[in-house]
Amino acid sequence: MKKNNGKGVTFSELREKAGLSIDNVSLLTGYSQRTVYRWEKNENSPKKIVLEKLMKIAQAGEVYEGSSAGFSFIDLFAGIGGMRKAFDDLGGKCVFTSEWNKYSRQTYLANFNCDHEIAGDITRIGAAEIPEHDVLLAGFPCQPFSIAGVSKKNALGKPHGFACNDQGNLFFDVARIIEYHRPKAFLLENVKNLERHDKGRTFRVITDRLHELGYYFDWKVIDAGYWVPQHRERIFIAGFREDCGFDFSRFELPSLENRPRIGTILHSQNGTEEEEPPYTTGPKAKISEKYTLSDHLWTYLQKYAEKHRARGNGFGFGLVGPGDVARTLSARYYKDGSEILVKQHGKNPRRLTPRECARLMGFDKPGESSFSIPVSDTQAYRQFGNAVVVPVVREVGKYMLQHLFDQVSEEQLELAFDSLMSETTVEYG
């Protein structure tokens, strides 16, 4: 049940109508961001005076308003568009996209209206060919730096990190584009292991280069489990051309008390969802039997897990029920689905369907099926396993934009607070 101000309007609706961010409300009222997040999620109700202040700002015609509308961004190593989707939601306009994988391009084009062609191999694209932009987004390939990627390359006797010529050096293409265009800001995303790879030397090369470019930046490892029912840690590096005081230490995470669980992203199978072949069939939209593990595969996975348990290793499958939180969805999920297997009553566990993966990664909200998946299951699993979690990027982006475009200072907010207490309207122009 929504908590409101007695007139049918929620705190979140009032805040948005007033044109205030979570951080703005925190500064305006003196309450912590964590408290404001609780108001936002309807976990607690703010005091009446807070709602009255917001109502006055809103009724004054949204007198407090940032200028982030209409900013432009480019989407490098775009995959299926997770970072784009987040920044589209924040009011940005994508002016350039680069993605070399043809199947990912197919999914991207099925979901976004592009007024530009999708460029391919970024190493073959001159910086001058890329349009001017305010924000650069890049989730540059992570396999050379991930724990699994490093282990695999070591086993095969192959180089990893920046020694990996086909993927590891792609950061420097990001750097040359930043150097040429000098965007107002950038957001880079990679695996948590990037910070520790090669005893920290890889990350030091990255940060040294960003310092050389004259950018102010900070980074933070964020677990997507605050927004989706999946333990997925990724590092985000946010940089700014000007020193705007950005600091990830003030980026407050939602409470884990009511963290989402796997049951929220699973097909209902009770008729409340429409049938979506090949994932679900029939009037109740039951999950297709093809996602249930065969006896042979299920027996193999159990024996494999037992063998590693006996050796004291942690390898094995991840079995989840509706009240659980999943392991990290990986690009290898198509092979056997072992990291996330869903319990089923009276039969072998099953894989997630690609639609459930879309929800797990935040491309769809729970219960929704709006994100188009035009590719095979194998390609879909690879794509979602390689993607970013959309709501995480959206929240990081929102926090960045507060610093990048917000022209109202803390002193002005304090003035607004005092003025509202005396019932005087203050307008910023």
How far apart CA 178 and CA 172 sit, in angstroms, is: 10
Same domain, 176 and 321: no
pTM tops 0.85: no
Total count of domains within the chain: 3
Question: Which positions are annotated as active-site residues?
Answer: 142
How far apart CA 416 and CA 323 sit, in angstroms, is: 44
Same domain, 213 and 313: no
- Encode the chain (429 residues) as per-residue pLDDT tens digits: 344 444 567 888 888 777 777 767 776 676 777 788 788 878 888 877 778 777 777 665 543 344 444 799 999 999 999 999 999 998 899 999 999 999 999 999 999 988 999 998 899 999 999 999 999 999 987 555 444 443 444 444 444 344 444 444 788 999 999 999 999 999 999 999 888 877 888 899 899 999 999 999 999 999 999 999 999 999 999 999 999 889 999 898 988 788 999 999 999 999 999 999 999 999 999 999 999 999 999 999 999 888 877 776 766 789 999 999 999 999 999 999 999 999 999 999 999 999 999 999 999 999 999 999 999 999 999 999 999 999 999 999 999 998 887 544 444 444 444 544 444 333 332
Confirm whether 4 is domain-assigned. no
Same domain, 338 and 400: no
Same domain, 108 and 181: yes
The enclosing domain of 188 has a CATH number of: 3.40.50.150
360-389: burial string, b at 16+ Cβ within 10 Å, e else: bbbbbebeebebbbebebebbbbbbbbbbb
Confirm whether 429 is domain-assigned. no
Same domain, 178 and 308: no
Same domain, 203 and 268: no
Same domain, 49 and 80: no
What are 74's two structure tokens?
């480019």
Same domain, 44 and 94: no
Same domain, 296 and 401: no
177-215: burial string, b at 16+ Cβ within 10 Å, e else: bbeebebbbbbbbbbbbbbebeeeebbeebeebbeebeb
Same domain, 273 and 413: no
Confirm whether 246 is domain-assigned. yes
Confirm whether 229 is domain-assigned. yes
Residue 82, helix vs strand vs coil: helix
Contact 58, 14 (CB under 8 A): yes
Phi, psi of 190 (to 5 degrees): -160, 180
Same domain, 57 and 83: no
Residue 220, helix vs strand vs coil: strand
Q: Strand pairing of 216-223 and 185-191?
A: unpaired
The enclosing domain of 350 has a CATH number of: 3.90.120.10
Confirm whether 80 is domain-assigned. yes
Same domain, 102 and 249: yes
Show the domain range for 45: 11-66+408-421
